A = this chain, B = another copy of it.
Amino acid sequence: MPRTTVAEFSVESLEILAPDGSVDEDLEPSLSEETLFDIYRTMRRARRLDERAVALQRRGELGTYAPGTGQEAAQVGSAAALAEDDWVVPAFREQAALLTRGASMGSILAYAMGLEEGAETSAEDRALPPAIPVGSQALHAVGIGWAQAIRDEDAAAIAYFGDGATSTGDVYEALNSAGAYGAHTVFLCQNNQYAISTPRENQTRAGTLAQKAVAAGIDGIQVDGNDALAVYEATQRALDQAREGNPVLVEALTYRRSMHTTSDDPRKYREEEEEVDWDRKDPIARFEAYLRGRGILTDERVEELAAEIEAELEDAVADARETAAEADPADMFEYAYAETPPWLERQAAASRGGGDADGE
């Protein structure tokens, strides 16, 4: 057999909810009305939080903020599929995923105010703090998912990252070692078409990002990332596989409708037409149409919800401001090590005294 085909692969794509809100009934997952409403509610909360955060940033109250606008279905749909014990490992744009998992708007705003308080998490929260170094967090989700495998537990970990992150060595080592270790890990790549200004085509010659899984010998699937049902469904299945020690990469095709962060100006690198195109595929509008079609949403409920969200936001802003007001800079000494080493204690004392005490 001098010239043979030794391996074949394919990448599938899943869509359930069309942009107009019509649903493929064969594939429609059977979710309770409550769950469906919750998904909608969280997407709306996330969207408003973004708006408010950007406004606060413009007023100088927040630092750099990375809105997830347009990516709500990818985040909420996937996070909603997690079991209670599952872990979330976010990048830096996962406000919607974190809200789904119970994080408060107040802590998200506090984080954007430059306060560690906003990233305070623990094993009980089953969430790591946001990760700024692109791609780095994927490996943490491998370690967590691997710990589950070692201890023969059922939980899984989901790592969020973007299209740009798929070019990093860390994401590749994560995919590959997750496979090698049989880690209970799902990789949720939000392909929002851009890494800052760099369009996805310039990141890689690969036609899909899901096919990055082929290199690791694990499953990869593409999903319409603006379709909360499809994302939910694909994540659910991926989690089931992961719990068996078969990690999966899910590529959610979506669009970052807003700026990269509040320091970015998308006009430098993309056309308005493209944005308008994607506006039509908005994940919230689509999901709302679907819920209205199913009678789960009414004008009244939508209005009620909007009012609830405004109230939640006000409280959150107040909370974050309070956290800021109470923040003690000396905390930085406290949390560096479990026990503060003497030389550092000396630095801390000097900082309290306003100077550096060297003397003999």
Residues of A within 8 A of B (CB): 1-16, 24, 26-27, 167-170, 172-173, 176-177, 179-180, 202-208, 210-218, 222
A204–B222 touching, CB < 8 Å:
no
Cα separation A177 to B213 with both chains bound (whole Å): 17
A225 to chain B, nearest CB (A): 14
Contact A14 B27, CB 8 Å, known A167-B176, A215-B211: no
Cα separation A207 to B213 with both chains bound (whole Å): 12
A103 to chain B, nearest CB (A): 30
Nearest-neighbor residue (CB-CB) of A14 within chain B: B3
How many protomers of this protein does the assembly include?
2
B180–A205 touching, CB < 8 Å:
yes
Contact A8 B6, CB 8 Å, known A1-B15, A172-B169, A172-B215: no
A177–B169 touching, CB < 8 Å:
no
Nearest-neighbor residue (CB-CB) of A5 within chain B: B10
Residue in B5, B205, B218 whose CB lies within 8 Å of A205: B218
A202–B180 touching, CB < 8 Å:
yes
Which residues of chain B have C-beta atoms less than 8 A from A217's C-beta? Answer: 204-207, 211
Cα separation A38 to B222 with both chains bound (whole Å): 50
Contact A179 B167, CB 8 Å, known A6-B13, A214-B211: no
Contact A11 B7, CB 8 Å, known A2-B27, A218-B205: yes
Nearest-neighbor residue (CB-CB) of A12 within chain B: B5
Which residues of chain B have C-beta atoms less than 8 A from A169's C-beta? Answer: 168-170, 172-173
In the assembled complex, 16 residue pairs joining A and B whose CB atoms fall closer than 8 Å, in A order, are A2-B27, A5-B10, A6-B13, A6-B222, A7-B11, A7-B208, A8-B9, A8-B10, A9-B10, A9-B211, A169-B170, A169-B172, A180-B205, A206-B214, A206-B216, A207-B217
